[in-house]
Amino acid sequence: MLRAMIVDDEAPARSELRYLLEETGRVDAITEASSAREAVERLMEARADVIFMDISMPKTNGMQLAEALHKLKNPPAVIFVTAYSEYALEAFDVDAIDYLMKPVETERLIQAMDKVQSRVKPQAQSHSSVERIPVVKSGRKVLVPIDQIRYIEAKDDYSCIYTDDDRYLSTISLAKLEQRLAPHGFFRVHRGYIVNLEYVEDVEVVSSGVLQLGINGIEGKKISVSRRRAVALKRALGL
């Protein structure tokens, strides 16, 4: 599974590409940026294996950003996603893996992802810094091993972390926890929930067609899966 970033100054374009990427089942974390500067800031917070970027953007365009990224020691793979065909040759001068035309077709996106996976080895081997998550319990900081976490729920400005026998508050946002925990088998099933796939005990389809998950060790808890995430979740669970 890969970690992806989408860089495009148009929110609808980012949303559409995110949906298509989720449908492929090839990515386990997706971040977004509306400019080259924001993309660099996001990369400082969490690395990406592949960046899907538009070329035509205000100030620093996608081609300039790709040139800058190429100077990194371990640069992410770059795939351009644009409405303009005339930059194709220039794109490969900055070692882009592929060049997709808008609107993106699912089959072409999958072909591009195949190229990425053949060239990129997701760096999930070394995660000692996130083996434990800092939380608050009775007014003091506690470090919770991630393999004890069953699921995480968004609670106002906090994240509520559940183990089989306790509950903790974390000041880390659900979005940042998603980025940090995705390589360890955690999956964001809903805007308000992240689950540890290892502890998913059962998958039920309720009358409205929505999927609900039962969590091992959490009696009586059912977590709803958003319709947009259902297909990718089934693939992640091998269903």
At residue 48's C-alpha, the angle toward residues 46 and 52, to 5°, is: 130
CA dihedral of 36, 39, 40, 44, whole degrees rounded to 10: 170
DSSP string for 187-217 = EEEETTEEEEGGGEEEEEE-TTS-EEEEETT
Whether this model's pTM surpasses 0.75 = no
Backbone angles phi, psi at 219, to 5 degrees: -65, 130
Tokens of 94: 């900055």
Task: Give the count of beta carbons closer than 10 Å to the beta carbon of residue 183.
Answer: 18
Q: What is the pLDDT of residues 63-111, one digit of tens each?
A: 888 888 877 777 888 999 988 777 677 777 777 889 999 999 988 999 9
Q: How many angstroms from the chain centroid is the CA of residue 184? A: 12
| pLDDT at residue 207 greater than cutoff 50 | yes
Do the Cβ atoms of 210 and 225 come closer than 8 Å? yes
pLDDT for the residue 47: 80
Output the average pLDDT for the chain: 85
pLDDT in tens, 133-190: 888 888 888 889 999 999 999 988 889 999 988 999 998 888 888 888 887 889 999 8
124 pLDDT exceeds 50?
no
Over residues 14-30, mean pLDDT: 88
pLDDT at residue 229, as a whole number: 85
Is the predicted pLDDT of residue 126 greater than 60, yes or no? Answer: no
**Helix 11-24 × helix 227-237 angle, to 10°:** 30
Per-residue model confidence (pLDDT) at position 121? 55
Q: Where does the pLDDT of residue 120 fall: very low under 50, low under 70, confident under 90, or very high at 90 and above?
A: low
**Spatial separation of the C-alpha atoms in residues 22 and 228, rounded to whole Å:** 8
Strand boundaries in 45-106, DSSP class E: 50-53, 77-82, 98-101
Nearest to 51 by CA among 67, 68, 32: 32
Q: Measured between alpha carbons, how far is 150 from 20 in angstroms, rounded to an integer?
A: 28
194 beta partners: 152, 188
Q: Which two tokens stand for residue 122?
A: 């997701």
Closest CA to 177 of 117, 114, 130: 130
Sequence-separated contacts (24+) of 66-70 with Cβ below 8 Å: 66/91, 66/94, 66/95, 66/96, 67/94, 68/36, 68/40, 70/94, 70/95
